[in-house]
Amino acid sequence: MSESAPGSPQEHPRRQVGVWEAISVCVGMVIGAGIFRSPSIVAANVGSDTEMLLAWAFGGAMSLVGALCFAEMAAAFPDPGGDYHFLTRAFGRRAGFLFAWSRFAVIHTGSMAMLAFVLGDYLAELVRLGPLGSPAMAALAIVVLAGLNLSGLRAGIGTQVGLMALVFAGLIAVGFAGVALAFQGAAPAVAAAGPSAGHLGTALVFVFLAYGGWSDAATLSAEMRDPRRGITRALLAGMAIVTALYLFANWAYVRGLGLAGVAASQAPAADLLRVAFGPAGETAIVVVVAITTITSMNAILIAGARTTYAAARDNGGLGALGEWQVARGTPGRAIVAIAAVALLLVGLGTWTRSGFSTMVDFLAPVYWLFLTLSGAAVIVLRRRHPGAPRPFRVPGYPWLPLAFMATSACMVYAAVAYVRIGTILGVAVLLSGLAVLAILERRTMKKP
């Protein structure tokens, strides 16, 4: 760790990120493979078009409540660690470290590997490279994005803004495919006979998976040009944009394919655009899906490296990972570490031959466990630091934070019920963080 005095430029990031740039990270963290893969599973587990749209609206509403909770904490306690910093303040250094470990070893790296598999799978439809083509392209994407972010914050954020604009246009195109079919008076391509009976809890796991990632924008709170209102505006605007796009896209899926058609489709966006615009539309959406996954992977790398940096900064035994490269504006060693673990998980997914589902099994329960604790942190921090300046306060306190906690806890249960096998490995990796913490504490005790 740097020997610079606390508060020196060598130890703290500069405030150089605008609201629009932070919105791009928030939107990029959320809009990923979920909206292109989850709707078919959601449709198979609901009973009607209306129930499907209500499930997506509920997911957006509760994610917005979570964003309000994080907006209060990020505005009051800005730090590159985001919810790592909030959990540490609320529940102590050990809880914070365990969360940071889960981000590094399970959540961020598992999400990057999951998205990399989606990217590889879609590109493999256009470029035939054999059975290992998909994981090879997945690994290449991780390496390229890591190199891009190592070149400096401007490159990483600038790329995020550009990619988000393309993704936004792609989802709008999905929505307007439904509009076009509606104006033509075309019936759904597949008769809506109704999917087989399913479980709403399973549907909501995939809805919330598609909405997941919004909390990571809080890691930019210490770099916002507007320290009072910047991160709040970014979180709220980002989630409003995502919810509107998701509802538009899901309406289009149901309008073009019918509920049973969506449930039966492995790639509803591609099927919808083929129905509306022919083979050219199908090819175009494959390109959009590829861009979407790259956008989300880039956003994860931007935010995830900052969480790792913050945890290493606060735990001297992690040394180099806590170094901030001032000249480039990036935590370079943390970027390399996250990319390396993500590559290992790509190897795991290749070995199991079911990369995407393996990664969902791996990360979902751990992710919702810590979101439950983050919701509780809003209440704990209000009690422990009542005098802290709070430019933004959660409306309807404490009921909205409690509602978010309850929803998150239900998602932990639903995720465990759905991902019985993958949960074991994810939880095991999470608990291994206790061993790492014990080693670090032992080293600290030995120091004179």
pLDDT tens for each residue of 141-153:
899 988 888 876 5
- The residue assigned the tokens 């479980």 is 199
Phi, psi of 14 (to 5 degrees): -85, 155
423-432 mean pLDDT: 84
Question: Any idea where the domains of the chain sit in the sequence?
Answer: 19-441
Phi, psi of 224 (to 5 degrees): -75, 135
| Spatial CA neighbour of 355 closest among 422, 435, 257, 258 | 422
- R_g over Cα of the chain: 21
Lowest pLDDT segment from 36-40, 108-112, 328-332, 423-427: 328-332
Integer CA distances (angstroms), 47 to 64, 82, 200, 299, in order: 25, 38, 9, 35
- The residue assigned the tokens 């910093």 is 85
Q: How far apart are CA 96 and CA 274, in angstroms?
A: 47
Reduced to 3 states (helix: H, G, I; strand: E, B; else coil), residue 395 is coil
pLDDT at residue 254, as a whole number: 92
More confident residue, 198 or 202: 202
Q: Which CATH architecture has domain 19-441?
A: Up-down Bundle (1.20)
**Single-letter code of the amino acid located at 58:** F
253-278 mean pLDDT: 87
pLDDT at residue 125, as a whole number: 63
Provide DSSP, 44-59: TTSSSHHHHHHHHHHH
pLDDT at residue 440, as a whole number: 74
| Cβ-based burial of 49 (10 A; exposed 0-12, middle 13-18, buried ≥19) | buried
Q: How far apart are CA 434 and CA 432, in angstroms?
A: 5
- The residue assigned the tokens 């493979």 is 33
Q: How far apart are CA 437 and CA 416, in angstroms?
A: 26
pLDDT, tens digit (0-9, with 9 covering 90-100), for 293-307: 887 788 788 877 877
Q: How far apart are CA 311 and CA 101, in angstroms?
A: 8
Integer CA distances (angstroms), 20 to 14, 236, 279, in order: 17, 12, 35
| pLDDT band at residue 316 under the 50/70/90 scheme | low
Q: Which two tokens stand for residue 255?
A: 């309008």
